[in-house]
Structure 1
Amino acid sequence: MTQRSGSADLPLHGGRVPKWLGDRMTRLGAVLCQAIVHHYGRDELLRRLAHPFWFQSFGAVMGMDWHSSGITTSVIGALKRGLTPLSGELGIHVCGGRGAHSRKTPHELEMIGERVGFDGAALATASRLVAKVDSAAVQDGFDLYLHGFIVTDDSRWVVVQQGMNGDRRQARRYHWLSEGLKSFVDQPHAAIEGERQGEIVNLTDHRAEASRSGQLDLLRQLGPDRIVHEFAAIEPAATEAKRDSAQPMLPNLVMPAHHDVRESDIVMRRLHGNISAAIESGPTDFPELLLVPGVGARTVRALAMVAEVVHGAPCRFSDPARFSLAHGGKDRHPFPVPLKVYDETIAVMKSAVAKAKLGREEELAALQRLDGQARRLERYVTGPRLKEIVAGEFDQSHLLGGRSVFGPEPPPEGALPERAKKSG
C-alpha cells in the first residue's frame, strides 16, 4: 500500500541560522547519520527522516528552535553540507533545499545518477511529481518553498518539503518515502504536518479516484467550455464523500505557537530518565565515554538524548521539545546553546563512529547502553520540575560557553567572577 509518511504544522519563523550553530549542526547531523547507518542501515535512516516527530526531535537536539518551521530548512541544509563529503562512503546524497536550490533538484539527481549509476532522469521526474502533488493535487493553502530530496545509491529516497501560509504565519511540512510507493496520486504521502484549517482539496485521497477519472473524462468528452455546466452535479457527490470519513491517520505533528518550552510540551518521566541515566550511571557504568577528554556529567546528559535519537523507537519522539534540553536553542529557549557541551558531544560521537569503522564498538555500545538505561530508569525515577532544570542551565550557561543569536551569555546578576571563586 502506498503511503505518505506524515506531516507537521509549525509556526512560521524568519531569520537565519548563525554560522557558529550552522557549522556545529553540520558536524553533529553528519555523525548522527553515520551512527544510524552503522547500526541500522541506510533504509532505516530514510524511514526516520520520513517520520515527522523524529525529524523535529533531530532538529531540536541540534540546537534549533524546537517548534518552528526553521528546523526543516536548517536540518536539510546541515545534512546537505555534512553528508555530501561522505556520499562515496555512505551512498547517500542530499539534493535540493530552499528557494532556488529546490528548483535545481532534478538536475542534481541526473548528475548524481550519471556518477553512481542509478536512473537520474526517473528520479528527477519523481522529484517534479512530488512537488506538483503537494502544490496542485493537494490544495491546502500552503505554497511550497522548500524541497529536499535524499536518495541512496540503490535509488531509495525520502522527500521532505515545506510550504508556507503567510497570512496565518504557519508552515506545513510534507514527508514522502519511496518504500512501498506505487502511485504518486493515490495516497502517496508518508506524512503531512499541519493543523486542520477548513476544507482542503486533496485529490490524492483514495476516495478521490472517481474524481480524478471524472476530470479526465470530462476533458476528453466535453471540453473545457461545457465543464462549468457539470459543476452542479459534483456537489451531491461531495456531500456524500464528507460522510465517508474513514481514512487511516498518518503521523501528524502540530507544534504550538508559544516559544518557551513548557512542561506540557514534554513527557517529564522521559526527561528524568535521561538525566538520571547520566547522573547515576554515567560515571560508573560508562567509563568508555568518560575517557574521552573533557567529558563530564553535563555532556553525558546531552549524550543520553543524542543516543535516543540514534536508537529510539518512533513512539519515543512524541515530545520533540524534550530534545531541546540536550543543547538548548539559538533563541535562548529553553536556554542558550552550551557550546562546550555541544563540542564535547560532537567529539564523543566522532570518536565512537571512527573506532566503530575499525571494528572497535566500545564507545558506540556504551551510547546504546546509556539509552537503554535511561528507558529503564524512567519507569520509576522522579526529579525536579522543568522550570528548576531550566533555571539551573541559565545559572551555569556562562560557564558552558552559552551562546544565542543575542550573543554570549553573561554571568547571572550577583554571580562571583570565576577568579574570585577560585581564590575564595
Structure 2
Amino acid sequence: MVQRAGSADLPLHGGRVPRWLGERMTKLGAIITQAIVIEYGRDEFLRRLAHPFWFQSFGCVMGMDWHSSGITTSVIGALKRGLSPLSGELGIHVCGGRGRNSRETPGELIAIGERVGLDGGGLATTSRLVAKVDSAAVQDGFDLYLHGFIVTDDGKWVVVQQGMNGERRQARRYHWLSEGISSFVDSPHTAIEGARQGEIVNLADRRAAASRNSQLDLLASLGPDRIVREIAAIEPRRTTRQSAQPMLPHLIMPAHHDVREEDVNMKRLHATLAAAADRGPEDFEHLLLVPGVGARTVKALAMVAEVVHGAPCRFADPARFSLAHGGKDRHPFPVPLKVYDETIRVMKSAVSKAKLGRDEEMQVLKRLDDQARQFEKYATGPDLKEIVAGEFRQSHEFGGRSVFGWEGPVERSSDADRPRRKGDRDR
C-alpha cells in the first residue's frame, strides 16, 4: 500500500562530489543494489529507495555528507552510473538526475520502453505528472531541481525528486512508489522529506478532492476575473486555524556539520561494533579469506550489512551509517579509502559468488547483521567522541581523504577529544 512515510529537514548544500569518492560510490551503490536484489528481489529494492530514512542511510554508508541535501543528487548519480551496465542483468533502469538531466527523463524512458517492451510514452507521461504534482499541486515553497525515475523491466517504478528553498537554505525530497497507486491526485506520495516551512497547501491529498472539484466549478461558473475579486474580498477576514492534517513522523537532519551523540542510536552502534569484534575473526579469517580484511573493514561491513538486511525501523538515525566510511567533508571523519576499497572487494566477492549459487559469503554478512541485533540488549562501549577521535588518530594509516586533501600523521591538541593533523587550522 502507498502511504505517506514522513518528512525531514535537509540543509541545502552546494558543491560537487570529488572523482575519487564518486567512483567508489558508483561501485558500492551497484554492489549493494545487487545484494538486495539477490536476497529480497527488485520490488524490495524499489521499496527501499522510496523510504526516505533508508535512502539517507544508503547515502551515508557511501561516504557522502551525512545530513546534506547533496545525498539525493549523489546517490541518484551513483546508481545511474553503476546500474546502467547491469540493466540487462538486473532489469533496473535509472533515468533523470539534476537540472538538465531531469528534463531528459521522458526521452530516456521512451528509449527504455522501446528496448525492453514497455509503454515508454506512458512512463514519460507519468514522469511529467509526478513532477507537476510536486511542483504545482503541492505548494510548499520548494522549487524542483532534481528528478530521478527508476523503472524495472516489468514496469514498476520509484521516483525520487527534490526541491529547494534558496532563501531558507533548505531542501525537500519527495518519494513516489508505483506499487498501489490508483490516482496521481489522491495522496500518491510514499514520503515527503524536507523542512517544514509553515503551512503546506497540498492539493494532491485525497482530502482535497472537494477543493479540487470546487476550484474547477468556480472557474467554469465565475470566470477568472470574478474569482480574483472574491479572493480580494475574503483575504482581510482570513484567520489562522489549526490544520486538520495530523503530524507525520519526520527525520530532522540538523544544520551542524559534526556528527553528535544525539544524532546516533548509541546502543545500535555499540552492538554493531561488538558484533564486528565477535564474528569478524571467526567468519572473515576462516571463511572469506579475503587478503587485507582487517578489524576496521569488518566494522564497515557490519553497517553495510544492515543497509542490505535492515528493516525500515532501523534507519531512524542515518548519521550512524556515516561511521562506516566517514564523509568527504571530514565529518564525522575523513573517508578511509583503504577500508572503503576493502569493503568493495569483500562485497563484490560475496555478490559474484552468490550469482553462481554459492551464498556462503552473503550468509556471513547476514550473520554479522543478526549478531548485531542480538547484542543490542546489552552491548556497551565508548562514547561517540572517543570513537571519532580514534578514527582521526588512525586516519593517515587508513588512507584518510577529504575534499581538503589527504590526512597526514596527527599530533595531539589541547582538546583531548579530537586530535588534529599537522598543519590543520581551525575552520
Q: Same fold (TM over 0.5)?
A: yes
2:162/2:173 contact within 8 Å kept = yes
- Residue 229 (structure 1) shift: 3.6
Q: Does 1:245 align with 2:221?
A: no
SS of the aligned residue for 1:97 comes to strand
Tell me the number of residue pairs that the alignment of Structure 1 and Structure 2 aligns.
Answer: 413
Corresponding residue number in structure 1 for 2:312: 314
- Residue 221 (structure 1) shift: 1.9
Corresponding residue number in structure 1 for 2:358: 360
Corresponding residue number in structure 2 for 1:291: 289
- Rounded Cα–Cα distance in structure 1 between residues aligned with 2:229 and 2:335: 61
- Rounded Cα–Cα distance in structure 2 between residues aligned with 1:163 and 1:117: 32
| Residue identity opposite 2:329 in structure 1 | D
1:6/1:51 contact within 8 Å kept = no
SS of the aligned residue for 1:56 comes to helix
Instruction: After TM superposition, list the pairs within 5 Å mapping 1:162-173 onto structure 2.
Output: 162-173=162-173
| Residue identity opposite 2:352 in structure 1 | A
SS of the aligned residue for 2:172 comes to strand
Instruction: After TM superposition, list the pairs within 5 Å mapping 1:94-113 onto structure 2.
Output: 94-113=94-113
- Rounded Cα–Cα distance in structure 2 between residues aligned with 1:220 and 1:308: 55
Corresponding residue number in structure 2 for 1:278: 276
- Residue 197 (structure 1) shift: 1.7
- Aligned pair partner of 2:394 in 396, 406, 417: 396
- Residue 233 (structure 1) shift: 8.7
1:329/1:335 contact within 8 Å kept = yes
1:5/1:177 contact within 8 Å kept = no
1:401/1:408 contact within 8 Å kept = yes
- Residue 196 (structure 1) shift: 2.1
What's the C-alpha RMSD, in Å, of the aligned pairs?
Answer: 2.0
Instruction: After TM superposition, list the pairs within 5 Å mapping 1:122-133 onto structure 2.
Output: 122-133=122-133
Unaligned runs of 5+ in 2: 414-427
* Compared CA separation, residues 197 and 292, structure 1 to 2 (3 A): same
SS of the aligned residue for 2:369 comes to helix
SS of the aligned residue for 2:82 comes to helix
Corresponding residue number in structure 2 for 1:256: 254
- Residue 203 (structure 1) shift: 0.7
- Residue 238 (structure 1) shift: 8.7
- Rounded Cα–Cα distance in structure 1 between residues aligned with 2:201 and 2:312: 29
Corresponding residue number in structure 2 for 1:79: 79
- Rounded Cα–Cα distance in structure 1 between residues aligned with 2:237 and 2:77: 44
Q: Does 1:216 align with 2:233?
A: no
- Residue 219 (structure 1) shift: 1.7
- Rounded Cα–Cα distance in structure 1 between residues aligned with 2:268 and 2:188: 33
- Residue 97 (structure 1) shift: 0.1
- Aligned pair partner of 1:385 in 374, 379, 383: 383
1:63/1:327 contact within 8 Å kept = yes
1:4/1:177 contact within 8 Å kept = no
| Residue identity opposite 1:359 in structure 2 | G
| Residue identity opposite 1:409 in structure 2 | E
Unaligned runs of 5+ in 1: 416-424
| Residue identity opposite 1:388 in structure 2 | E
- Residue 222 (structure 1) shift: 2.0
Corresponding residue number in structure 2 for 1:375: 373
Deviations 1:210-260 (A, max 9, x none): 1100111112222212222443797799979x55625473x5222000000
* Compared CA separation, residues 305 and 2, structure 1 to 2 (3 A): closer
- Rounded Cα–Cα distance in structure 2 between residues aligned with 1:396 and 1:207: 55
Corresponding residue number in structure 2 for 1:267: 265
* Compared CA separation, residues 101 and 6, structure 1 to 2 (3 A): farther
- Rounded Cα–Cα distance in structure 1 between residues aligned with 2:360 and 2:83: 24
Corresponding residue number in structure 2 for 1:418: none
- Rounded Cα–Cα distance in structure 2 between residues aligned with 1:85 and 1:46: 18
- Rounded Cα–Cα distance in structure 2 between residues aligned with 1:181 and 1:233: 39
2:7/2:195 contact within 8 Å kept = no
Corresponding residue number in structure 2 for 1:54: 54
Instruction: After TM superposition, list the pairs within 5 Å mapping 1:33-48 onto structure 2.
Output: 33-48=33-48
* Compared CA separation, residues 232 and 213, structure 1 to 2 (3 A): farther
1:283/1:290 contact within 8 Å kept = no
- Residue 195 (structure 1) shift: 2.6
- Residue 146 (structure 1) shift: 0.3
* Compared CA separation, residues 203 and 373, structure 1 to 2 (3 A): same
* Compared CA separation, residues 414 and 209, structure 1 to 2 (3 A): closer
Q: Does 1:227 align with 2:227?
A: yes
- Residue 3 (structure 1) shift: 3.5
Corresponding residue number in structure 2 for 1:11: 11
* Compared CA separation, residues 2 and 355, structure 1 to 2 (3 A): closer
2:56/2:71 contact within 8 Å kept = yes
* Compared CA separation, residues 207 and 294, structure 1 to 2 (3 A): same
Corresponding residue number in structure 1 for 2:195: 195
Deviations 1:116-155 (A, max 9, x none): 0111111111100111111111111111000000000111
2:80/2:95 contact within 8 Å kept = yes
SS of the aligned residue for 1:110 comes to helix
Corresponding residue number in structure 1 for 2:411: 413
- Rounded Cα–Cα distance in structure 2 between residues aligned with 1:248 and 1:168: 22
| Residue identity opposite 1:300 in structure 2 | V
Deviations 1:64-92 (A, max 9, x none): 00000010000000000000000000000
